[in-house]
Chain A
Amino acid sequence: MPMVEMKQTVPQIFDIEVKVASVCAQGLESPARIKPLSQIAPQELWFYLPDVARFYIANGREIVVEPMPNADEESIRVFLLDSCFGAIMHQRGELVLQGSGIRVGEGSALFMGHTGDGKSTLTAAFYRQGYQVFSDGLAVVDETLKLQPAYAQLKLWPDSMKKLGLSVEELKQVRPQIAKISLPIQEAFCPRALPVKALYLLSSHNQESFIFKTLKGMEKFQPIKNHIYRSDFSEVFGMQSRDLKRLSQLANQAAVVRVSYPNYGFQIDELMRLVEEDMRHKELIDKGEK
């Protein structure tokens, strides 16, 4: 299966093996926690997506996929890239956050938020302005507090593409069942890890104002913690204390800004302009720099 979202490295070293093989239909031998379609144990995750595949992720280095009959390749790839790699990064002891990242000078900035809070759209707005992109949706922060490059694609809903003035022509849906578009960004992909300089916590509200609040000291910690990707993974995988330590270091290193924007008529250009202005004010980027 071609993985166009991934950048090939030179030399071609790999330390995660992905293979297509049979996955036990009943799940794990000794699960520590069971959900309707998934089971988790220390260093193991099993999940089943009806009509798509069964997945088994183990020890931070092995992913086994058993496609279901008639499953399409795109669907398997979507869940492989997000859910499986998100889990495997947890197993490897990396800090995995719900966020999208761009390059700002010699550092990186992360846009964090919950589903539908505009992370991808804001990242795409910066991409459209010529900024380099690290990741969309999943953000991996390594032990040196650098944001790791993830996939060379943005995933956007047609409504967001339209708001950004981006054409959907000749672009593919991420999977046939949904209208979300895969926007390849090979030329704007940032291929090297850079220190996280700022985290913008996005949320919308039913007021007309844009509110920016730079958090100080201890108040920075909990909001970042709230955006750990599948935080219960790190608990079962035994990575909780490592995650908390890294979160604390990250809160010390990076500026943390809470951003509330009007939820009616998503004003993406204005939001981007204000975030960019805040980045300049914090001297994360020079005037005119991208």
Chain B
Amino acid sequence: MQGNPKLFWLASYPKSGNTWTRAFIANLLNEDSQPVDINEFNTGAIASSRAWIQKAFDFDINELSHDEIDRLRPMAYRWLSDQAQEYEYHKTHDAFSYVDEQQEIPLFPKEATAGALIIVRNPLDVSISFAHHSQCSIDKAIDDMAKTKFCFCGKSNKLHNQLRQWLWSWSQYNRSWMEAPVPKLLVRYEDMKAKPLETFTQIATFLKLPNDEKSVSDAIEKCRIEKLQEQEAQNPFKERPAQAKSFFRKGIVGDWKNTLSQTQIETIVKEHSELMLELDYLDKEGNLK
């Protein structure tokens, strides 16, 4: 029995504003005058949460291979959507993929999907933040962002708390969601920074959340980067990788101009120019904006 789809996917390549978006949603739904605790953004489990998917099955999915679990995930999402009383907002770094050879069964089935909010960010800035998050060199981050078979939690010699997530390359990731046959809204991180009220109102409207000006403005104010950093300084953020110094970093647009070498810029642009042009990070002459 399928009811109305209840699951919204907050789809983004890592370090593109997903946590900021969840902070906004949590604060928008919270009536308290104080900002929501950074460790209490309970908008919904990440789509790759092993514990969340396990709820849909009465056998132990830890005994299954990555491929076997992938084949079960669409039916889990359908069931979890049916169980949901209200709309839920689930972060995902999984690309929009298909779990069968015929490319007919999407990982995120339409019967479960209320919509997909796609958050994109200039890959030049993503590379810096991604390197910081992964505690690797920027060159390594740039290399990972170009890999067509890039995934998280894909090792077979250990158990990860999260299921394997195929990200593919930065371009492939975003393209997969942009072409996904589900209701969707694409926003740019840069617009969330430059035109917050307008962009977050669009987001709130798409996600069927309160979208009046006061509610949206209040929520934006409560999740300003400075406030998130302030909270993290007081109390460690549970999603910070253990080896990273902090999760909420600069969050500024255009950091690449001061940080990346010319070679690094050229490598990223060469790899992702088509989508960068489409997303207005490059002009028609190939100049960076």
Interface residues of A (CB under 8 A from B): 35-38, 40, 45, 47, 49-50, 78-79, 82-83, 87, 114-116, 157-160, 174-175, 177-180, 205-207, 230, 233, 262-265
A174 touches B63 (CB 8 A): yes
Note all chain B residues with C-beta closer than 8 A to A207.
236, 242
Query: Known: A206-B241, A206-B242. Contact between A178 and B156, CB under 8 A?
Result: yes
Nearest B-chain residue to A84, judged by Cβ:
B59
A116 touches B240 (CB 8 A): no
Interface residues of B in 163-201 (CB under 8 A from A): none
Nearest A-chain residue to B79, judged by Cβ:
A36
* 11 pairs, A vs B, C-beta closer than 8 Å: A38-B59, A79-B60, A79-B63, A83-B59, A115-B62, A157-B159, A160-B158, A177-B64, A179-B156, A206-B236, A263-B242
A178 touches B63 (CB 8 A): yes
A179 touches B157 (CB 8 A): yes
Nearest A-chain residue to B241, judged by Cβ:
A206
Interface 1/0s, chain B 110-134, versus A by CB < 8 A?
0000000000000000000000000
Note all chain A residues with C-beta closer than 8 A to B278.
none
Tell me the smallest distance from the CB of B126 to a CB of chain A, in Å.
22
Tell me the smallest distance from the CB of A48 to a CB of chain B, in Å.
9
Q: State whether the Cβ of B238 lies closer than 8 Å to any Cβ in chain A.
A: yes
Bound state CA distance, A174 and B75, in angstroms?
26
Interface size on B, residues (CB 8 A): 32
Bound state CA distance, A270 and B62, in angstroms?
26
Most chain A beta carbons < 10 A, residue from B60, B65, B76, B236: B60
Main secondary structure of the interface of B (DSSP, over half): loop
Bound state CA distance, A158 and B159, in angstroms?
10
Interface residues of B in 41-78 (CB under 8 A from A): 50-51, 54, 56-60, 62-65, 68, 71-72, 75-76, 78
Tell me the smallest distance from the CB of A40 to a CB of chain B, in Å.
7
Bound state CA distance, A79 and B68, in angstroms?
14
Note all chain A residues with C-beta closer than 8 A to B157.
157-159, 179
Q: State whether the Cβ of B161 lies closer than 8 Å to any Cβ in chain A.
A: yes
Query: Known: A116-B159, A178-B64, A207-B236. Contact between A262 and B242, CB under 8 A?
Result: yes
Bound state CA distance, A114 and B56, in angstroms?
16
Most chain A beta carbons < 10 A, residue from B65, B159, B241: B159
Bound state CA distance, A179 and B158, in angstroms?
8
Interface residues of B in 138-169 (CB under 8 A from A): 155-161
Bound state CA distance, A148 and B169, in angstroms?
50
Q: State whether the Cβ of B243 lies closer than 8 Å to any Cβ in chain A.
A: yes
Tell me the smallest distance from the CB of B118 to a CB of chain A, in Å.
27
A40 touches B59 (CB 8 A): no
Bound state CA distance, A34 and B240, in angstroms?
37
Bound state CA distance, A173 and B174, in angstroms?
38
Note all chain B residues with C-beta closer than 8 A to A36.
56-57, 72, 75-76, 78-79
B160 touches A116 (CB 8 A): yes
Interface residues of B in 12-49 (CB under 8 A from A): none
B160 touches A35 (CB 8 A): no
Tell me the smallest distance from the CB of B53 to a CB of chain A, in Å.
11
Query: Known: A36-B75, A37-B57, A263-B242. Contact between A175 and B158, CB under 8 A?
Result: no
Bound state CA distance, A49 and B243, in angstroms?
39
A47 touches B59 (CB 8 A): yes
Most chain A beta carbons < 10 A, residue from B57, B155, B156, B157: B157
Tell me the smallest distance from the CB of B112 to a CB of chain A, in Å.
12
B158 touches A159 (CB 8 A): yes
Note all chain A residues with C-beta closer than 8 A to B51.
114-115
Note all chain A residues with C-beta closer than 8 A to B158.
157-160
B54 touches A35 (CB 8 A): no
Bound state CA distance, A233 and B159, in angstroms?
25
Query: Known: A38-B59, A49-B59. Contact between A116 and B76, CB under 8 A?
Result: no
